[in-house]
């Protein structure tokens, strides 16, 4: 299964999951919680509506839901275009990301989403813990990946993308666990047999999957709109 499809599935069934605008959360037996506006049960299935308009929803087996709790408000993640820079810088990063993504068989939009969550597109960013560059590599991790300069966009993105590919392989292409390990460390994922119960990590995973899925939906809508325009019949003048 391609990572693009896998992320869409995980985003809709799990991590959209921590939708920050919802009013309640469904606590699942696997430890995840799915935030939503409201829910409705029909037999053995409970439909969780992600928005008040009921345009987006997730169907879950009712037996997988432990209970419902008031939603916890978290800071709205930034999902602006990466990077926050004009012309050449934007195109240069796009090329770097596309090349690294292709070499590691990942979707470029996935890498962009990680960059947005990690550094908001700032190549000189340094976290309080010492993580550096666009994909916020810790010095030890950067060293293991052969990075000489973490502030060099090409080196940083190539290494960060390769590390994500390694984590995905380790967790059998499970993007949820891979992202959790990228944020909190593989040791924590092993310790908790999944996403660790850290508010920061869960919000981090949710923001990336939601960002990725949002962009895929936008691309899909744009493609449908373009196709509709191409196939629309031309107007014929009546001669008046």
Distance between CA 142 and CA 181 in Å, rounded?
15
Look at domain 21-70 and name its CATH class: mainly beta
Specify which residues 67 forms β-bridges with: 27
- Contact status, residue 188 vs residue 178, Cβ threshold 8 Å: no
Task: Answer yes or no: are the C-beta atoms of 10 and 176 closer than 8 Å.
Answer: yes
Backbone angles phi, psi at 42, to 5 degrees: -135, 100
What's the CATH architecture for 87-218?
Orthogonal Bundle (1.10)
Which among 75-84, 143-152, 188-197 has the top mean pLDDT?
Answer: 143-152
Q: Are strands 33-36 and 24-28 parallel, antiparallel or unpaired?
A: antiparallel
CB atoms near residue 175 (< 10 Å): 26
Q: Is 44 helix (H, G, I), strand (E, B) or coil?
A: coil
- Which of 149-153, 184-188, 214-218 shows the lowest per-residue confidence on average (mean pLDDT)? 214-218
pLDDT at 117 exceeding the cut of 60: yes
Half-sphere exposure of 83 (CA within 13 A, CB side): 26
56-103: pLDDT as tens digits? 667 778 888 888 887 654 444 343 444 444 566 778 999 999 999 999
Task: Please answer whether residues 45 and 61 qualify as being in contact, where contact means their C-beta atoms are separated by less than 8 angstroms.
Answer: yes
Domain with CATH 2.30.30 in the chain: 21-70
What DSSP element (H or E) covers 65? strand 65-70
Token readout for 8 is 């869409």
pLDDT of 31 > 70? The answer is no
Average pLDDT taken over every residue of the chain: 80
Q: Return the pLDDT at 133.
A: 95
**Where are the alpha helices (H) located in the chain, listed in sequence order?**
3-10, 87-103, 108-119, 139-144, 153-170, 175-184, 186-192, 199-231
Give the confidence band of 193 by pLDDT, cuts at 50, 70, 90. confident
- pLDDT at position 75: 43
pLDDT above 80 for 196? yes
* Region(s) of the chain under CATH 1.10.530.10: 87-218
CB burial of 104-126 (b: ≥16 within 10 Å; e: otherwise) equals bebbbbbbbbbbbbbbbbbbebe
* Residues 6+ positions from 231 with CB-CB distance below 8 Å: none
Beta carbons of 33 and 71 less than 8 angstroms apart: no
Distance CA 158, CA 101 (A): 8
Kindly state the average pLDDT of the residues 198-220.
87
Percent of the chain at pLDDT exceeding 90: 39
Residues belonging to the active site: 118
């Amino acid at each position: 299964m391609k990572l693009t499809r896998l992320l869409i599935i995980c985003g809709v069934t799990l991590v959209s999951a921590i939708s920050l605008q919802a009013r309640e959360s469904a606590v699942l037996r696997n430890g995840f919680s799915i935030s939503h506006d409201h829910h409705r049960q029909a037999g053995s299935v409970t439909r969780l509506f992600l928005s008040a308009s009921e345009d987006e929803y997730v169907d879950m087996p009712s037996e997988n839901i432990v209970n419902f709790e008031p939603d916890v408000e978290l800071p709205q993640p930034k999902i602006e275009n990466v990077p926050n820079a004009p012309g050449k810088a934007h195109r240069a990063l796009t090329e770097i990301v596309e090349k690294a993504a292709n070499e590691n068989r990942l979707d470029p939009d996935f890498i962009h989403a990680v960059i947005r969550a990690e550094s908001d597109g700032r190549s000189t960013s340094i976290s309080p813990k010492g993580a550096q560059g666009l994909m916020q590599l810790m010095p030890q991790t950067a060293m293991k990946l052969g990075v000489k300069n973490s502030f060099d966009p090409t080196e940083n993105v190539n290494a960060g993308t390769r590390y994500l590919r390694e984590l995905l392989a380790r967790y059998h292409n499970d993007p949820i666990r891979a992202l959790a390990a990228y944020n909190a460390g593989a040791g924590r994922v092993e310790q908790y047999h999944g996403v660790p119960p850290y508010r920061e990590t869960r919000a981090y995973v949710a923001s990336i999957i939601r960002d990725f899925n949002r962009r895929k939906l936008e691309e899909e809508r744009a493609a449908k709109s373009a196709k509709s325009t191409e196939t629309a019949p031309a107007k014929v003048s009546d001669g008046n």
